[in-house]
Amino acid sequence: MSVTDTEALVVRDLGLEPMPSTWARMKEFTESRSADDPDEIWFVEHPPVYTLGLAGDAGHILDAGDIEVIQTDRGGQVTYHGPGQLVCYVLLDLKRRGLDIRGLVELLESTVIDTVAKYGIEAYPRRDAPGVYVNARKLAAIGLRVRRGCSYHGIAFNIAMDLSPYSRINPCGFADLEVTQLSELCNVTSIADIRPAFEQALLNRLDG
């Protein structure tokens, strides 16, 4: 794990880590943090796992097969995490940053849009279905939780991964929704190719 401290914002690179242990640490951090603690951004990849939102409908999981299903406390329906997907968890004091939940969703969407624009890709959000899309296919999914005025969970950005597990769910609760990834859209072939640009775009949005 590497850690960077950027003016009261701590950025952690967790590497490859199982989703349940990361989730437990996010909850612990949020419950125990004080008003003076700096916000944190966590970057991580997860081994294959389906996650279901707090009020998610398990009927959207069509055939989990040998992939574990975890019901979490984030918003939203079902999504998939796996190696080659850049997951960014945002542990922010929303009041201190002057953000509400809608503002945070838009900030995360804009971060992906800013990042891929550098590669000539025109991405966009959908008001009725949070996330980022390219040519009607979903590139990044968002699920958040707010507790004690602070956020956790975040955004999952498909970079260079096996997309086949998405065919066994209704992604984010939408039947027939197609997904895509950055490696299909440009010459990016790994998370290492894009992580610095994404992190800088996120810091720019948070500073703005």
In tens, the pLDDT along 105-141 reads: 999 999 999 999 999 999 999 988 899 999 999 999 9
CA distance 85 to 93: 25
The reported pTM is: 0.95
| Given 88, 150, 172, 186, the catalytic residue | 172
CA distance 52 to 56: 6
**In this structure, what DSSP letter does residue 83 have?**
T
Half-sphere exposure of 92 (CA within 13 A, CB side): 25
Burial of 33 (0-12, 13-18, 19+ CB in 10 A): middle
> Is 172 tagged catalytic?
yes
Please list the ranges in the chain whose pLDDT falls under 50: none
The pair of three-digit structure tokens given for residue 58, joined into one six-digit string: 């398990």
pLDDT of residue 128: 86
Q: How far apart are the first and last CA of the chain?
A: 28
Q: How many CB atoms lie within 10 A of CB 139?
A: 25
Q: Name the fold adopted by 2-207.
A: BirA Bifunctional Protein; domain 2 (3.30.930)
DSSP-based three-state secondary structure for 32 = helix
